Chain A
């Protein structure tokens, strides 16, 4: 094993290129900028193209164009930039264009944006939330696979810490199984035959090659996302078998929570940990099972309470669920605030434990 010291954005760019990504575009914005820079440096050396777009809207629409030809393509920003991309994400989901979007988020306030989206129509976005750079490398490769497997836009919910933390990492190619042929790609093979392909949200098709049209097409897409919901949920859980309290957290923040739970376990507390790895599909069934016999389900997220909605949808007795996080951002607005520390999390959980004993 040969480790190389890389910051998260560089490791993600390398993992994407190893996955066959040959087109990337974006508009600079902290904490995303370095990801764009690494793609700009590395893609031309790998027969790829990286374009500094004039806006996030232009960026994602170029990415849809590139992906429509069958190429593996990606874009990204932070939550503020993804806000501008919502219409295009919905279009890509409904015209079945596979692409990867990297949200190098500044905090955890984009959970609703990621899992609900702000576009139109019946669509969902597979969202993976890695807890560190090593997992982000794995998730990046998995996302390109899932995008192609389901012909859908997919999202990595990273953050400022994953973006800039430097770690010793080895970028190894991972195998996720075979994929269907891209027999839908607009690769020019059928030009002049009168049967050229079209990707179209309304699926009307063309004169010689009529499409399914909107009703059937959108039913199919709804069925596809329904199937994904039943197949692709991923999660991690620790000590839930004998836990009286389970703490739920996602992304980098979950890594902090996990270490606090480990510490509380060594102090003899019956506490467990649950981390949704996919934010959509949310691992509802697994969380329900993990929390069936617990006294409390605590949700630690650095926002005003977003994932807690999904937790409440999963846990049979909603009265057990309590949020213990909150909004906490650096005064610049560009990264996390002081609440992201093992000590702060420990204090909040211990307050609950002490309160329960009274």
Chain B
């Protein structure tokens, strides 16, 4: 089994941090992982896409994906490439507070989360990425809640440790924002299985 997760948005939204958190969490649970990134030259607002592949065997996927079984879309900008790569029935999580327009594709499993609004309501708008990740992981069950929290603490650089508490709250708020039960792809009750068979 090999699951692709593409994450897209604009620089500054935490795309790479979220991707790294998911990757480190998956490694900590003894899965195989590959993470590749495409980043624009700008410090803020430029293209930011990360592709994470998680598997139960050594990864076969190419470092540049042209198909993905799931996506976290943080912003309408730079989302076309990821949307174009979605497999039939792909699991898509949209940041509904920011994303403008519609996805012109029918056979998808879409969740819309007002991630930025939720993060702003908690007083930490910058944590919207972790709201998205918490919600996505609850639905798909790629890693355990604990692995995700521990990974976030690990990847936060030392000079940003003061944000750990807010990030943890964001992960939990993301989980609470989706009504479904906590899935586990490894226990075969994740909507991702519809994509990867």
Contact = CB atoms under 8 A, between A and B. Distances in A.
A210 B32 CA distance: 57
A166 B35 contact: yes
B27 A4 contact: yes
A132 B63 contact: yes
Identify the interface centre among A134, A165, A252, A341: most chain B CB within 10 Å of its CB: A165
Identify the interface centre among B26, B37, B63, B64: most chain A CB within 10 Å of its CB: B63
A221 to B, nearest CB: 38
A55 interface: no
A126 to B, nearest CB: 25
Interface string A254-266: 0110010000000
A165 B23 contact: no
Interface string B22-64: 0110110011111111000100000000000000001110111
A167 interface: yes
B24 A5 contact: yes
Contacts of A252: 63
A340 interface: yes
A292 interface: no
A167 B34 contact: yes
Identify the interface centre among A3, A4, A252: most chain B CB within 10 Å of its CB: A3
Interface string B61-94: 0111010000000000000000000000000000
B33 A255 contact: no
Interface residues of A, number: 20
Given A166-B35, A168-B32, A5 B27 contact: yes
A342 B62 contact: yes
Contact of A165 (B32, B63, B66): B63
A161 interface: yes
Contact of A166 (B23, B31, B66): B23
Contact of B41 (A259, A332, A340): A332
A164 interface: yes
Contacts, number: 53
Contacts of B20: 5, 166
A11 to B, nearest CB: 12
A4 B26 CA distance: 10
A165 B36 contact: yes
B58 A166 contact: no
Interface string A146-160: 000000000000000
B165 to A, nearest CB: 24
B36 A168 contact: no
A11 B24 CA distance: 16
B64 A161 contact: yes
B33 A5 contact: yes
A166 B32 contact: no
Nearest to A258: B62
Contact of A168 (B31, B37, B60, B64): B31
Contacts of B62: 255-256, 259, 342
B33 A168 contact: yes
Nearest to A1: B30
19 contacts: A3-B32, A4-B27, A5-B24, A5-B33, A134-B58, A161-B36, A164-B36, A164-B37, A165-B34, A165-B36, A166-B20, A168-B31, A168-B32, A168-B59, A256-B64, A332-B41, A340-B64, A341-B66, A342-B66
Given A5-B20, A167-B59, 11 more contacts: A4-B27, A5-B33, A166-B23, A166-B33, A167-B33, A168-B59, A252-B63, A255-B62, A256-B62, A259-B60, A342-B62
